[in-house]
Every structure is written in structure tokens, then in C-alpha cells.
Amino acid sequence: MTRIDDIATRLDEAAFSARAMAQIDPDGKLPLADAYEIQRRSVARRLARGERPVGIKMGFTSRAKMIQMGVDDVIWGRLTSGMQVDDGGTLDLSRFIHPRVEPELAFVLKRPLSGHVSPAQALAAVEAVAPALEIIDSRYQDFKFSLSDVIADNASSSGFVVGPWADPRTDLANLGMVMSFDGVDQELGSSAALLGHPLRALAAAARVAEEAGEPLPAGAIVMAGAATSAQWLRPGIHVQLEVERLGRVGFHVGA
Ligand code: 0L1
Ligand code: MG
């Protein structure tokens, strides 16, 4: 087994068993191309167990998070059917290590999308847009990682919830977004935090998909990135996101 296969296996086992592991590259020396190859092989193990690929998630789409990580580009991860939680459903906390939740928007495509496209060209490929919540869960101890660590760990992807689909011609430039726990506001943000405009995050998804040689097919879901910081999940709470003009999405956390 190569080192890349070995790390991919360990990351998948950490996710599957919900047990944290040591960082694989604390000094950030691993080339990012190798980190993405580890991600691809790790997710391939999930697919071999019967999960389906359903799209991608964009990470580090806010300026604040890029500065915090010392990077100047987005990262991305793969979404599978096993990560999707129904709107209004219940999350089984035992499947996670130290999960957090963050408020996002999701797109679903009506046509394939790939390459260097403008936000307007990206919009032409969109079937619908929705309020969405991403559950991130680093497989590393204490949620600590280098850039290569987190890319290899599928950009901390672990769950996502998509709300009601809406007309993509809605003006998405600066929508108020409020994430609450049990009706108490936790995070207030704007869709403008997503690379300045959510359609720029979608255009970035098209670019990374081309770079990976994996064009996004019609039907793919793109989680466009977080509008605010993530918050730790606690047993028994109800999480809700309300996005101006788009509506609400939410889920319960099992006790
Ligand atoms: O933006 C994100 O979805 C987060 C990407 C991974 C980094 C993290 O776990 O905070
Ligand atoms: Mg996210």
C-alpha cells in the first residue's frame, strides 16, 4: 500500500468510526495535489460501500477564513448521498467526532458546469438555489489541521441539509442569513460573504471541477460556502437557518 492509500484509508476509517486521528501533515509540507488525491481515494472508499456522489462543497469562501488560514484560494470537498440529512430531520450525533454547523446556500445544476466561467454563465447552468446548512467535522484531534491536512480530509465535509429550492433568478447579492439554535440567534451574516457574491463561489466550483478533471454533471449540488463562523452542535437542539427571500432550513440534533 502506498503512503497516499494508507492515509486515505486512515481518514476514511476515522470518519466511519467517528474517532479522531493525529494530523497527517502538521507542517503543511505535503503537495496540495497529493492531498486532493488522498481525498479522492478516501471518498472512493465511501462510494465502494454504496454511497453516491451528489456534488461538491466549497470551503474558505469568506475572506476572513482565507486570512485565518493564510491562503488566497478556496478549497473544495466531495459530497456523497450518505452525508445528506433531510430538511426537518434528526442528526445522529454518534456518527460525528466534534461537529459544527455553518449557514450556507446550495445550488443544484440543470446542465453540466466546468471551466472558467463568469458568474452569469454559472447562473445559466443553475436549476435552483436553496438555504442550506453544512455540518463540518474534522477527523483530526482538536479540530486542528494544516491546509494539506484539511484538503486530504475532504475539507471537513460530513453532513449537509438543503431547504426548499427557489428560483435562481432571485437576487442573491446580499441576503440576510440568521442561524439560530432553539430559536436563539447564534450567527448573523450575509450571502455577500461568499466570495462577494454566491455566484462567484459557484464559478469557483466550476473552475476547481475542471482542474480536478471532474466536470459537475446536471443534478449536482454545490454547497457554496459559509456566510459566518461555524458553531458547535449540542445534543437535543434544533438548528435553523433563515435566509431572506429564500426561506428556512433546519434539523434536530439527537439527544
Ligand atoms: O468552509 C468550510 O466549509 C470549512 C472547510 C474546512 C475547514 C474547517 O473545517 O473549518
Ligand atoms: Mg462549509
Mean pLDDT of 173-201: 97
Nearest 5 degrees, angle CA 242-CA 191-CA 144? 90
Q: What is the pLDDT of residue 204?
A: 97
Which has the closest alpha carbon to 152: 1, 2, 10?
10
pLDDT band at 71 (very low <50, low <70, confident <90, very high): confident
* Cβ(163) – ligand 1 distance below 6 Å: no
How confident is the model over 132-166, as pLDDT tens digits? 999 999 999 999 999 999 999 999 999 999 999 99
pLDDT band at 223 (very low <50, low <70, confident <90, very high): very high
CA–centroid distance, residue 239 to ligand 1 (Å): 18
Q: Is the pLDDT of residue 68 over 80?
A: no
* Cβ(226) – ligand 1 distance below 6 Å: yes
* Cβ(59) – ligand 1 distance below 6 Å: yes
Mean pLDDT of 173-195: 97
> What is the fold, at CATH topology level, of the domain defined by 3-253?
Fumarylacetoacetate hydrolase; domain 2 (3.90.850)
What whole-number percentage of the chain has pLDDT above 70? 100
Counting ligands in written order, which one lies closest to the CA of residue 68? Answer: 1
Q: What is the pLDDT of residue 233?
A: 98
Mean pLDDT of 166-187: 97
Mean of all residue pLDDT scores within the chain = 97
What does the block give as the cell for 104?
450556507
* Cβ(79) – ligand 1 distance below 6 Å: no
Mean pLDDT of 191-199: 97
pLDDT band at 119 (very low <50, low <70, confident <90, very high): very high
* Cβ(180) – ligand 1 distance below 6 Å: no
Q: What is the pLDDT of residue 64?
A: 78
CA atoms within 13 A on the CB side of 21: 20
Q: Is the pLDDT of residue 65 over 90?
A: no
Mean pLDDT of 33-51: 98
DSSP notation for 173-202: TT-EEEEEETTEEEEEEEGGGTTTSHHHHH
Q: Is the pLDDT of residue 220 over 90?
A: yes
Nearest residue (CA) to ligand 1, atom 2? 59
Domain range list for the chain: 3-253
Nearest residue (CA) to ligand 1, atom 1? 59
Rounded distance between C-alpha atoms, residue 224 and residue 208, angstroms: 13
Mean pLDDT of 82-98: 97
